[in-house]
Amino acid sequence: MFERIRNFMEFNGFNVISRIADKFGVRASRLRLLFIYLSFVTLGITFGFYLMTAFFLWVKDGIIVRRKSVFDL
C-alpha cells in the first residue's frame, strides 16, 4: 500500500526533491527525510520553499526545451 502511494506521488508529483538530489549527487530518500524533518522544525516554511521551487521548475521546463538527441537541432 505504501509503495503504491509513493509510486503515485513520484509519478504525478513535481519531482523537486529528485531533481535537487540529482543535481547535488545525494540519494533522494535521504533528502526527502531531511525535507520532512525541516518542515516539522520550521513549522512549514520549507513547504513554501518546495512549492516555490516547483513553480520555478515548471516555468523553466516550459521555457527551456530539452532535446532528446543531437539530431533534433
Residue 72 maps to a domain? no
Give the pLDDT confidence of 12-43 residue by residue, as tens digits.
667 888 888 989 999 988 998 998 899 889 98
Residue 39 maps to a domain? yes
Residue 57 maps to a domain? yes
CA 9 – CA 11 distance, rounded (Å): 5
Residue 71 maps to a domain? no
Q: What is the pLDDT of residue 27?
A: 92
Total domains present in the chain: 1
Compute, in degrees rounded to 10, the torsion defined by CA atoms 56, 46, 27, 12. Answer: -60
Q: What is the pTM of this model?
A: 0.67
Average pLDDT, the chain: 83
Q: What is the pLDDT of residue 7?
A: 75
Range of the domain at 12: 2-65
Between 17 and 10, residue with greater pLDDT: 17
Q: How confident is the model at residue 64 (pLDDT cuts 50, 70, 90)?
A: confident
List all residues 6 or more positions away from 31 whose beta carbon is below 8 Å from its beta carbon. Answer: 17, 20, 21
What average pLDDT does this structure show over 34-58? 88
